[in-house]
Amino acid sequence: MSDPIKERYDFVLVFDVQDGNPNGDPDAGNLPRLDPETGRGLVTDVCLKRKVRNFVQLVKEGKTPFAIYVKEKAVLGKAHVEAFKALNIVTGQASKKPIPANLVESLDGIDWPEGLSVVEGDDGTDLVVEADADKKLVKEWLKEVDCPKPLKELIKKALDEAKPRKPTAAETERGRTKMCQDFYDIRTFGAVMSLKSAPNCGQVRGPVQMTFARSVDPVIVQEHSITRMAVATEAEAEKQSGDNRTMGRKNTIPYGLYVAHGFVSPHLAAQTGFSQDDLKLLWEALLNMFEHDRSAARGLMATRKLVIFKHDTALGDAPAHRLFERVKIEKKVAERPARSFDDYRILIDGQESPSSQIRLDLSAKMPA
Amino acid sequence: MKGFCLEVSGPFACFTRPEMKVERVSYDVITPSAARAIFDAILWKPAIRWVITRIEVLAPIQWISVRRNEVAKTAIPRSTGIFIEDDRQQRAALLLRDVRYRLHGRFEVLPADRRPKACNPVPDSLIEPEEQKAEPDLPSLPLAQVEAKYAAMFERRARLGKHFHQPYLGCREFAADVRLVDASTRQPPPVDDSRELGWMLYDLDFSDPADPRPMFYRPSMKSGVIEVPHPESPEIRR
């Protein structure tokens, strides 16, 4: 691992969408998000962060130290990284109960909740209840689960015997450090951490902060009706007397150029251990995240420009908004609607930047 | 001590009402606690406490609703992660849009026995040489000297756009543009809007770190200006 970063960065991310929906609005039946008063499109911060997470998960295959904590349902073995175990911190007394041989068969197909597991030992099978298993959650689960009564009794008993213990402040700190070491997204964006200690167990504030992306110009949303030459159920087929068609809807934006801003604070990086390598990976993710996020809904999306302002110091050399003002985006022909990236001109410090140049590293020192 | 004035603005802001935290609804204007956090983002030391004295609202109050997918869980070390599909919640937020405020604040230097312990001291490699020289050698110095040094440090940072982390308007995704306002130059007047704002969060009292207690106050906006009482004054209810 390289050292935590020592300088502040501010960045401008310019990306576009063609005939697609960059970020649906659950409030509006998944239409692209719009700022209703200006007609400009929006893409939320969390949408962009999700793409960064997915990219990192893809290229690093979820291996520590680049594991991702908040995952989409990828195919992943549920290998438990027992962070506390690795640190040899025992939080209280886990309870172990031998399972009678006649009940072992009924264990198949049970989906254990977090904190419960079955361990095959030399002298039979044991049920293990972790000390910090959420008792309320397990009791709820017990009501639902389908298993023989004696086994339920056994689980209840084991649950009662598990004695949680509050970790000390030092242990909490170690647990937090470990989480930051293992998980890229916690190191980068931070996380609300529960370490089952004091009620206010603190949060990790990540060094990377991103804002909503907004389109440069108002976008229009086109609604397309589409048909599917099949139906889902027999009943529908009968209703249509064999016509078997379903109508669907699709909403797209013909073209939109979006701008998001982001910030990297070295002080918070020092607290989570966000390093130079992590930063390199972040830039890589921002440049390539749309390449691995293709889908029917997205249309064509691409990062068009990533302007990175590097400060010489940790506190920075200039206010972020003044730096962002150095990047100007204008339409080449104002009276025609834009339909491609070529319809825009990106000026940086008054100079037109060639559209082939995707990443620019600039000094945050204000030009005299 | 003389106060400082910052002009802050941003396209969105969310100063969440504590009674509506799930589907977030913002207060009409910035809370003293969020304003304090902006000053803190630029300069904070265990020896000082920022006090907001006045809030001027420069832009009309406007709203926008945004619904997002959020996670319903917190991170625990024993698990390997959260599958977002299993713990997804869609939550709306009623945000403020295109906000602009002038915040007046000053700091008070705390006597040595009332200073909290810094949990994460800044590594030496991140401290600027100018500040290394100015770093007050704390308990031994007279408070006035400590105050003068920190005031100079804050002014330098705010003027040059330096900060500890990017200041934000209530939530970290709503970054704030911050400008130090020179007290001597004439500034545009605030909006012509007077209203009673009802009970608002004033700040959290962290005197017991394990159990922060909220404090409330009842501000009224007069032609865009809110006078903020001192945290020790009787107008603040705990």
Q: Please tell me which of the candidates B62, B79, B164 has its beta carbon nearest to residue A267.
A: B164
Q: What is the pLDDT of residue A89?
A: 59
User: pLDDT of A83-130, one tens digit each?
Assistant: 555 666 555 667 777 777 777 777 777 777 777 777 777 667 777 777
Assess whether A257 and A128 both reside in one domain: no
DSSP string computed for B188-213: ----S--EE--SEEEEEE-SSTTS-E
Residue A43 lies in a domain: yes
Res. B117 pLDDT band, cuts 50 70 90: confident
**Min Cα separation B83/chain A (Å):** 5
Specify if A202 maps to a domain.
yes
Cβ within 8 Å, pair A318-B84:
no
Burial class (CB in 10 A: 0-12, 13-18, 19+), A195: buried
Q: Check CB contact under 8 Å for B77 and A175.
A: yes
Pair (A206, A305) in one structural domain: yes
Q: Characterize A9-23 residue by residue with b for buried, 16 or more Cβ atoms within 10 angstroms of its Cβ, and e for exposed.
A: bbbbbbbbbbebbbb
Which of A125-139, A219-233, B81-95, B96-110 tops mean pLDDT?
B96-110
Instruction: Evaluate whether residue B179 is within a structural domain.
Output: yes
Calculate mean pLDDT across residues A68-78.
61
Chain A's closest residue to B165, CA to CA, is A265
As a whole number of angstroms, the distance between CA A158 and CA A119 comes to: 14
pLDDT value at residue B79: 74
- Residue A83 is nearest to which of B11, B78, B125, comparing CB atoms? B78
pLDDT band, residue A80 (cuts 50/70/90): very low
CB within 8 Å: A268 and B165? yes
Residue at A66 is within a domain: yes
Q: Which residues 6+ apart lie within 8 Å of A264 measured at CB?
A: A5, A8, A9, A10, A11, A207, A208, A209, A274, A279, A282
How many Cβ atoms are within 10 Å of A174's Cβ, its own excluded? 18
Question: Which segment, A275-284, B19-28, B71-80, is predicted with the most confidence on average?
Answer: A275-284
Residue of chain B whose alpha carbon sits nearest to that of A74: B83
Dihedral through CA B49, CA B55, CA B61, CA B63, nearest 10?
0
Is position A277 within any domain?
A: yes
Distance CA A200, CA A173 (A): 13
In a domain, A160, yes or no: yes
**B30 in a structural domain:** yes
Q: Is the pLDDT of residue A201 over 70?
A: no
Do A286 and A262 belong to one domain?
yes
Predicted local distance difference test score (pLDDT) of residue B52: 94
CB contact under 8 A, B165 and A265: yes
Residue A248: predicted pLDDT: 86
Q: Determine contact: A177 vs chain B, CB below 8 A.
A: no
Q: Are residue A122 and residue A43 in the same domain, yes or no?
A: no
Q: Are residues A55 and A153 in the same domain?
A: no
> Residue A234 has what pLDDT?
79
CB contact under 8 A, B173 and A44: yes
A261 touches B: beta carbon within 8 Å: yes
Domain hosting B156: range is 4-73+89-227
Disruptive mutation site among A42, A315, A317, A366 for chain B (greatest number of B CBs within 10 Å)? A315
Domain membership of residue A31 (yes or no) is: yes
Which range (A321-325, B58-62, B101-105, B146-150) has the least confidence? B146-150
Domain shared by A147 and A289, yes or no: no
Chains A and B form CB pairs within 8 A to the count of 165
| Chain segment B214-224, per-residue pLDDT in tens | 999 999 999 99
- State the Cα–Cα distance between residues B231 and B108, nearest whole angstrom: 12
User: For B131, which residue in chain A has the nearest alpha carbon?
Assistant: A315
Each residue of A242-273: pLDDT tens digit? Answer: 777 888 889 999 999 999 999 999 999 999 99
| DSSP code for B113 | G
Residues of B in contact with A114 (CB under 8 A): 78-79
Q: Please determine, for residue B231, whether its predicted confidence score (pLDDT) is greater than 70.
A: yes
Tell whether A276 lies on the interface with B, counting CB pairs under 8 A: no
Q: Identify the domain containing residue A146 by its residue range.
A: 92-103+118-164
**Quick one: DSSP state of residue B21?**
T
Both tokens of A20, joined, read 């697609």
Is residue B99 in some structural domain?
yes
Cα separation, A197 vs A170, whole angstroms:
11
A151 and A207: one domain? Answer: no
- For residue A229, what pLDDT is reported? 83
The predicted structure's pLDDT at residue A88: 60
Q: Is A183 on the interface with B (CB under 8 A)?
A: yes
Tell me the CATH number at B132: 3.30.70.2660
In a shared domain, residues A293 and A359: yes
B4-13 and B177-180 beta bridge pairing: antiparallel
Average pLDDT over residues B134-144: 69
CA dihedral in degrees (B136, B40, B229, B192; nearest 10)? 130
Transcribe B58-80 into DSSP letters: -S---EEEEEEEEE---B-TTSS
**Interface touch A322/B161, C-beta < 8 Å:** yes
Residue B19 lies in a domain: yes
Number of domains in chain A: 2
Residue B238 lies in a domain: no
Are residues A205 and A157 both part of a single domain? Answer: no
Best A9, A128, A211 residue to mutate vs chain B (most B CBs within 10 Å): A211
Q: Provide the domain count of chain B.
A: 1
**Could you tell me which residues are beta bridge partners of residue B51?**
B106
Closest-CA residue to A40 (of A213, A158, A290): A213
The answer, for A130 touching chain B at a CB cutoff of 8 Å, is yes
Residue A109 covered by a domain: no
Sign of CA dihedral A88, A65, A210, B81: negative
**CA Rg, chain B, in Å?**
19
* Angstrom distance (rounded) from CA A77 to CA A81: 11
Residue at B232 is within a domain: no
Q: Do A258 and A127 sit in the same domain of this protein?
A: no
Indicate whether A148 and A291 sit together in one domain.
no
Cα of A254 to nearest chain B Cα, Å: 22
Q: CA-nearest residue of chain B to A193?
A: B75
Residue B55, in any domain of the structure: yes
Mutate to test the interface with A, among B78, B94, B155, B164 (most CBs of A within 10 A): B78
A192: closest chain B residue by CA: B74
Q: How confident is the model at residue B186 (pLDDT cuts 50, 70, 90)?
A: confident
Report the amino acid identity of residue A238.
E
A194 contact residues in B (CB cutoff 8 A) = 74-76
Q: How far is B103 from chain A (nearest CA, A)?
A: 17
pLDDT band of A221, cuts 50, 70, 90 = very high
| A56 Cβ under 8 Å from any chain B Cβ | no
B81 interaction partners in chain A (CB closer than 8 Å): 67-71, 183
Residue B235 covered by a domain: no
